[in-house]
Amino acid sequence: MAKATMGRAKFKIQRRLGVELPGLGKAGALERRPYGPGVHGMKRKKLSDYTIRLVEKQKVMFHYGVREKYLVNCVKKAKKDKSRAWVDTLIVNLEKRLDNVIFRLNWAPSIPAARQMVVHGHVLVNGKKVTSPNQIVKVEDEVTLTDKGFKSGNYLQAQARPRISTIPACLTKEAVGEAEKAKLIADPLPEDIPFPFEKRLVTEYYWKIK
């Protein structure tokens, strides 16, 4: 019952935001009701500029499963990097989170499931067990799962019904016996974000953050 309730909650989030967020897992949130939840969901009303920017920011929060305080800290860090637009750096850094990498490799059916696998000690980075989902995977880092990880329900579910059919070009993956190993061979691209995203709106939302 709790699992079904959680699934409905994720559908409501995606309908409210008007977009499917792969990181939340099961697809189909907008298939039957492509509008917001509740009796007023079908009524179209003009959104304020603030609300439009807020929605775009919330897409990032809910897809990657991060809290506002964490996201603000990521924004501050990204703004210190002058090599490119800070919002591009923000997305690249979120894509390099370990829980996201596990999800993008199709080793977990959602980012929360990937986070669970990391916390439970099923993920190895360069041969060492890592239990922090927000660890940033570096270029040339090798990532794999423990034997228990490859036998877990999360892994088997992701293999049977992958949420995203292809992995980003920045990742390579190869079979090793009955297991797999992967490597981050380059930084992700901002365009690797797997849902429609207007980065200008997030830039405008966080313009005061320094």
Domain that holds residue 30: 2-93+195-205
54 and 6 within one domain: yes
pLDDT in tens, 125-156: 999 999 999 999 999 999 999 999 999 999 99
CATH code, domain with 13: 1.10.1050.10
105 and 148 within one domain: yes
61 class by beta-carbon count within 10 Å (0-12 exposed, 13-18 middle, 19+ buried): middle
Q: Which of 109, 114, 116, 104 is nearest to 161 (CA)?
A: 109
Whether residue 210 is contained in a domain is answered as no
pLDDT in tens, 19-70: 999 999 878 877 765 554 444 444 556 789 999 999 999 999 999 999 999 9
89 and 64 within one domain: yes
Domain count, the chain: 2
175 and 151 within one domain: yes
Predicted structure pTM score: 0.89
Q: Which of 141, 125, 133, 136 is nearest to 185 (CA)?
A: 141
